[in-house]
Chain A
Amino acid sequence: MATEASPWYSERRGLGVVTLYLVGALVGALVASGLLIPSFVTEGWDVAYYEAHPLVVPAQLYLFAYLGALVHVFVALLRRTDVDVETVVRLGLRVPTALLLVTGVYLAASILGLQPVPDSPASVRTLVGVAFFVGLFVEHALAALSIVSARLYPGDPSQLYDDGIRGG
C-alpha cells in the first residue's frame, strides 16, 4: 500500500532546508542592499573594465538571479504548502539553474544591444532587473534562448530538432 509522503514542516530535514533558503534569501538581500559587503554593489560594476574584457561576466548579475530564483522557491512553497521534503529540495535546484542560465542571457542581451553604458546607472539597473527575471522565470528564459539557438544556424530552424522549442 502506498503511503502518502509527509509535508516538509513535519520533518526536521524539511524545516532545515527551508531555514537554509530563508538564511540564503536574507544574506542575498543584505548584500543587494549594500549593508553586507558594500563594495560589491557600490564599486563592483566598472563598465569600462567589462568593455575591455568582453568575456568576463559581472558577478553582480548572479546575485540578482539568485534572489529571483529564491523568490520562485518561496512563491512555489506558498502555493503548495504541503509538499514533501524531496520537492522542497528539488525547488532549490532552480538556484544553480538560474545562475548558469543568466550567463547566456547576459551575453545574448549584450550582443542584442542591452548592455551597460558608462555613467548610466539606469542601464545597469535594467540589466540586473533582467537577471532577476531570469531567476524568477527560468522557463521563459530557456524558451527565448531556444529560439535564438534555432535561428543561429543556417537552414530551416524547424528541421534542426523535431521536439520543437526545448532541447531534450
Chain B
Amino acid sequence: MPTEVRRTEPPSDDERVATPAVDSTASERVSPLAGLERVRAVRVGFYALYTASAVFTLLFVTDVLPVGSGVASVTAVGPGLPWPVYAFTLVGTLTHVFVTLTGRPELRTAALARLALRVPLALALTWALYSLLTTATFFSVRPDALGVRGVAVFAFLVGLFVEHAVGAAKTVLTSVVFRTLGPTVRDVLRRLGYRT
C-alpha cells in the first residue's frame, strides 16, 4: 500500500509559479514560464543589489570613494557616533547576507528581501546600543586611534550578529530599568506573570 508523503516545507517560488490556480479561467491564466522568468529576474535583482552595495561600501571604507568627509576624517569618537562608522555596520550586515546566500542557495524571494531588512535594524541598533552602553554602563571609548577602531569593530559586529546585539540591548535595558525604577517595576512584572 503506497504511503502518503507529507510535505512539511512551504513550496518554493518556482513551484508556486509553475502550479496554476485550479479555479482560474483560461483568459486569466498566466503562463507559468513567464512567472518563472519574473521570479528569476527578481532574484537576480536582489543578488545584484547586494553585490553593488558590497562594492560601494568596500570602496568607501578603503577611502577610494570619498563621500563628503569620509572615513579618513574620523580621528576620534566622542559621545555621538560619526556617520562614517555606520559604514562598518553596513559591512557587517552585508557579510551576514553573503554568508546566508553562500550557505542557503534555496532561499525564496521573500527571504532574500527579508535579509535587506537587517540593514535598518542593524543601523538603529548600533546607535541605540552605543548610546546605552556609553551613558548607562561602564563602556568607555579611548580617545585615540585604537578607540576609533574599537568602535568600528563594535559597529561591524552589531551588523554581523544582530541577534547578539538584540540580546545585549535587552540585558542592558532590563538592568537600567530595574536599577532606576527599582522594586516597583519588579513587583508589577511579577503580578503580570513575568519572571524577573
Q: How far is the CA of A126 from the CA of B99 in the complex (A)?
A: 25
Docked-complex contact A90 and B163, CB < 8 angstroms:
no
B51 at the interface (CB under 8 A from A): yes
Report the nearest B residue to A157, measured CB to CB.
B164
Docked-complex contact A90 and B92, CB < 8 angstroms:
no
Docked-complex contact A59 and B64, CB < 8 angstroms:
yes
Of the listed residues B75, B96, B156, the one surrounded by the most CB atoms of chain A closer than 10 A to its CB is B156
Stretch at the interface among B32-40, B165-173, B177-185, B187-195: B165-173
Residues of A within 8 A of B109 (CB): none
The total of chain A residues at the interface (CB under 8 A) is 42
A96-B98 CB under 8 A given contacts A149-B157, A161-B164: yes
Docked-complex contact B98 and A149, CB < 8 angstroms:
no
Q: Would you give the shortest CB distance from B121 to chain A, in whole angstroms? A: 12
The total of chain B residues at the interface (CB under 8 A) is 49
Report the nearest B residue to A58, measured CB to CB.
B62
Query: Per a CB cutoff under 8 Å, which of A53, A94, A153 touches B63?
Result: A53
Q: Would you give the shortest CB distance from A19 to chain B, in whole angstroms? A: 20
Stretch at the interface among A4-12, A24-32, A102-110, A117-125: A102-110
Q: Would you give the shortest CB distance from A97 to chain B, in whole angstroms? A: 4
Residues of B in contact with A (beta carbons under 8 Å apart): 51, 54, 57-58, 61-64, 71-72, 74-75, 84-85, 88, 91-92, 94-96, 98-99, 101-102, 105, 133, 137-138, 145-146, 148-150, 152-154, 156-157, 160-165, 167-168, 171-172, 175
Residues of A in contact with B (beta carbons under 8 Å apart): 51-59, 62, 86, 90, 93-94, 96-97, 99-101, 103-104, 107-108, 110-111, 138, 142, 145-146, 148-150, 152-155, 159-161, 163, 167-168
CB pairs A–B below 8 angstroms (5 shown): A55-B85, A90-B105, A100-B54, A153-B168, A155-B172
